[in-house]
Amino acid sequence: MKLVPALLVLLLGGCGQRGASNYACGFAAMAGLSLVLEQFATPASIVARVPDDLPNQLPVRMVLGPALRSIVGRADTTLVIGVEGELPSVPSAGFGVLIVNRENRPQGVLLYEGIPVQGAPLLGSVNIGARDVPLLGLRLDITQFEDQSCPTFPDSLR
């Protein structure tokens, strides 16, 4: 089994310029966006309450999947993010993470499969068709976790 990751690295490293950007984006998304969750170990990075200044729309990205537009709303004191469009059924989203920058401005939502991070404050929910998944939050500079040529939250979805 250890041969598969080694082969993958060799294949990605050996790609020509023409296909390299697609592979680089996929690799950056896989590695970088999985590291985002480690920020929950830093209490100063955890968002404990919904930011006051919310846009009407935010990009939502399924980690290792597509980015879609969403509608942002409130239900009492909690945040509701309604994803526009269909996400692939596999992997299945288990929770979302609202990413806010250092100025406390929402940048987008990342959807992860699995169970939410234990002990993280619940900010609201992400509506994905007929399901709702919990929404947590992190304060960080998303550009530190992505390849600059393929942004996590494209401006075209804002």
End-to-end CA distance of the chain: 41
Verdict on whether the full-model pTM lies above 0.75:
yes
Local confidence pLDDT in tens for the 158 residues of the chain: 343 343 333 333 333 333 445 666 777 677 788 899 999 999 999 999 999 899 999 999 998 888 999 999 998 889 999 999 988 888 889 999 999 999 999 999 999 999 999 999 999 999 998 899 999 999 999 999 988 888 899 877 76
* Per-residue confidence (pLDDT) for residue 6, from 0 to 100: 37
- Count other Cβ atoms within 10 Å, centred on residue 50: 18
Domain boundaries of the chain, sorted by first residue: 39-157
Residue 154: its pLDDT value, please?
A: 86
Burial of 24 (0-12, 13-18, 19+ CB in 10 A): middle
- pLDDT reported for residue 133: 97
Rounded to whole angstroms, the Cα distance separating 140 from 35 reads: 12
What residue spans of 37-111 are helical by DSSP H? none
Q: Is the dihedral of CA 103, 108, 111, 115 positive or negative?
A: positive
Alpha carbons 74 and 49: distance in angstroms, whole number: 13
